[in-house]
A and B are shown apart, each in its own frame.
Chain A
Amino acid sequence: QVQLVQSGAEVKKPGASVRLSCKATGHTFTSETIHWVRQAPGQRPEWVGALNTGTGHTKYSQKFQGKSIVEVDKNMNTVYLEVTSLTSDDTGVYYCATEGEMYHEVPAGYHRYIWFDPWGQGTLVTVSS
């Protein structure tokens, strides 16, 4: 059973950067899509971006483009999220999650349904001077 284990809590000053890790246990990365989601205190989750571990292709929310970098180290079976130029607005819990998929045939072809499961336990990032 795949599990995602994330790195521990971080406290950073404004302007600094933080690098978070998400390690898969019980499974070796081949061609999965791993997503990162941020949840500020008391707020809804917010999609940051994603990386395919097979191709290395990344996709970011426009809000996080240029501010966040997602990378993979396949030897370590780990995906990383780096967030730069931190401000207090970046405070929150950062989750990684695996993309699941299902193909459903329809008359015109097929639909590829996706979802996020499983999730890591989350990493709390606190940005404070």
Chain B
Amino acid sequence: DIQLTQSPSFLSASVGDRVTITCRVSHDINNYLAWYQQRPGEAPNLLIYAASTLQSGVPLRFSGSGSGPEFTLTISSLQPEDFGTFYCQQLNTYPYTFGQGTKLEIK
């Protein structure tokens, strides 16, 4: 299975900060990568697909970049509603796998 390793695992930041989360993949995934935000008690919510394409309706402060083996999710100016756990997911090879998550706390 393709392994995804996110860093950091935990992040505490203030409103207005620029935040970057990294996802390192163990094999080439041809940019078949998605990012999700999951708030407590909710289902994951799609932010980015194809490594850098913003899902419709997602605020422009979110962006994705990179290519194998390292991808990044950036929040340009952190907002109070951006708390939760962020996951990357590879959709290149079955079984589709997720990173271990980055928990983001708003100070």
Q: Check: A54 CB closer than 8 A to any chain B CB.
A: no
**Minimum Cβ distance to chain B for residue A105 (Å):** 13
Interface string of A46-73 (1 = CB under 8 A from B): 1100000000000101110000000000
**Chain B: interface size category:** 20 to 34
Chain A residue contacts of B43, Cβ below 8 A: 95, 97, 119-122
Q: Does B46 contact A (CB under 8 A)?
A: yes
A104 to B95 Cα, complex, angstroms: 23
Q: Does B78 contact A (CB under 8 A)?
A: no
**How many chain A residues have a CB neighbour from B under 8 Å?**
24
Number of A-B residue pairs at CB separation under 8 A: 64
Task: Output the least CB separation between B49 and chain A (Å).
Answer: 4
| Chain B, residue nearest A35 (CB) | B96
Question: Of A46, A111, A115, A120, which one neighbours B34 at CB under 8 angstroms?
Answer: A115
Residue-wise, chain B 18-34 has the 8 Å CB interface mask toward A (1 for contact) of: 00000000000011101
> Which B residues form the contact surface with A (CB < 8 A)?
30-32, 34, 36, 42-46, 49-50, 53, 55, 87, 89, 91, 94-101
Residues of A whose CB lies within 8 Å of any CB of B are 35, 44-47, 59, 61-63, 95, 97, 100, 102, 104, 111, 113-117, 119-122
10 contacts between A and B (CB under 8 A): A35-B96, A47-B95, A47-B96, A47-B98, A61-B94, A102-B50, A111-B31, A116-B46, A119-B44, A121-B42
